[in-house]
Amino acid sequence: MPMARNEERKRLAEVHTTDLNEGKLNEDFVTWLKTKGPTWLLIIVAFIVAYLVMIRWQQQEARARDEAWMELMTTTQPASLEDVARRHAGVDAVADLARLNAADSLLLDVQRGRTISDDGQETTALDDETRAAHLSQAQRLYSEVIADDDGLKARTLATVSALNGLAAVLESQGDIAGAIDAYKRAEQRAADWIPALAQQAAARAATATALTEDVAFATAPPPPPLPAGLPAGPLPPLPTPDQPTLQSSPPAATAPTKAPPPPSEHPTSEPDTP
């Protein structure tokens, strides 16, 4: 019996100690919540809010990129393309492509000699003033793309395209020296990244001086001589449908002649006369 009582006392002491420890833990937890709990709660809430803001910003950026590319693909007029370049200046390469498309469209109008209306249904011939304005505007757009070049590989294609377009504008304006300089700049810009474009620009620079040479057209050969017996001079005009045509009268009919009868094989004997 004394043994059982000692064990019971020991067990009660252990239970009492456990209760004291649990109570102390609860009291420490409550104290921590009162002192440091609000601070940690604010940190967690701030982290969640920052994560949601980042997700929201990424979604808005993706929508803005999609909208920029959609406007670039559906816009054709040079003035509207310039607006696209201004609105989406920081979205990928949309600004450079919009300026290049606008300048190429203006240069194409100059080459055709006509401009297309906004609805694409009518064309108007370019006069000298409009042609000069188109070339000046295309030159400005190409120059803006060239000015934004940072020398990196990602902008090589856009810069080389702008330099080639600028050279075409200068050729149209009669500035062959300036066009050759633009081609050489394009060759240097593409030499390290796109050798094929560098070779193309070098070939264009080498042949640009041919535009200043006079073009000689072959003369038509003289007409062959008329056959003997034909009258000289222009041929008489053909009769018109309102004028009657002269017809030659048919030859007079002649009576057919009878062929003489063939001689008989046996001569007829004449009757005796008395």
Sign of the Cα pseudo-torsion (134, 135, 138, 144, in order)? negative
Q: Examine the domain organization and report whether 31 and 99 are in the same domain.
A: no
**40: in domain:** no
How many domains are contained in the chain? Answer: 2
| Residues 22-49, mean pLDDT to the nearest whole number | 78
Residue of higher predicted confidence among 135 and 124: 135
Q: Examine the domain organization and report whether 89 and 148 are in the same domain.
A: yes
Q: Examine the domain organization and report whether 21 and 87 are in the same domain.
A: no
* pLDDT range class, residue 40, cuts 50, 70, 90: confident
Q: What pLDDT does residue 269 have?
A: 46
Compute the distance between CA of residue 158 and CA of residue 101 in angstroms, rounded to an integer: 11
Q: What pLDDT does residue 169 have?
A: 96
**197: in domain:** yes
> Which token pair is 169?
């504008």
Select from 211, 235, 266 the last residue of a domain. 211
Q: Examine the domain organization and report whether 87 and 141 are in the same domain.
A: yes
* pLDDT range class, residue 42, cuts 50, 70, 90: confident
Strand partners, 114: 125
> 265 exposed, middle or buried (CB, 10 Å; 0-12, 13-18, 19+)?
exposed
Q: Is the pLDDT of residue 236 over 60?
A: yes
Q: Examine the domain organization and report whether 179 and 101 are in the same domain.
A: yes
**82: in domain:** yes
Q: What pLDDT does residue 219 have?
A: 79
**71: in domain:** no
- Contact predicate 101/125, CB 8 Å: no
Select from 211, 226, 245 the last residue of a domain. 211
Residue bearing tokens 């934004």? 148
**114: in domain:** yes
- Contact predicate 164/182, CB 8 Å: yes
What is the domain extent for residue 15?
2-35
Q: Examine the domain organization and report whether 109 and 195 are in the same domain.
A: yes
**89: in domain:** yes
Q: Examine the domain organization and report whether 108 and 184 are in the same domain.
A: yes
Select from 188, 211, 234 the last residue of a domain. 211
| pLDDT digits 0-9 by tens, 45-103 | 999 999 999 999 999 989 999 999 999 999 999 999 999 999 999 899 999 999 999 99
Q: Examine the domain organization and report whether 8 and 94 are in the same domain.
A: no
- Contact predicate 171/208, CB 8 Å: yes
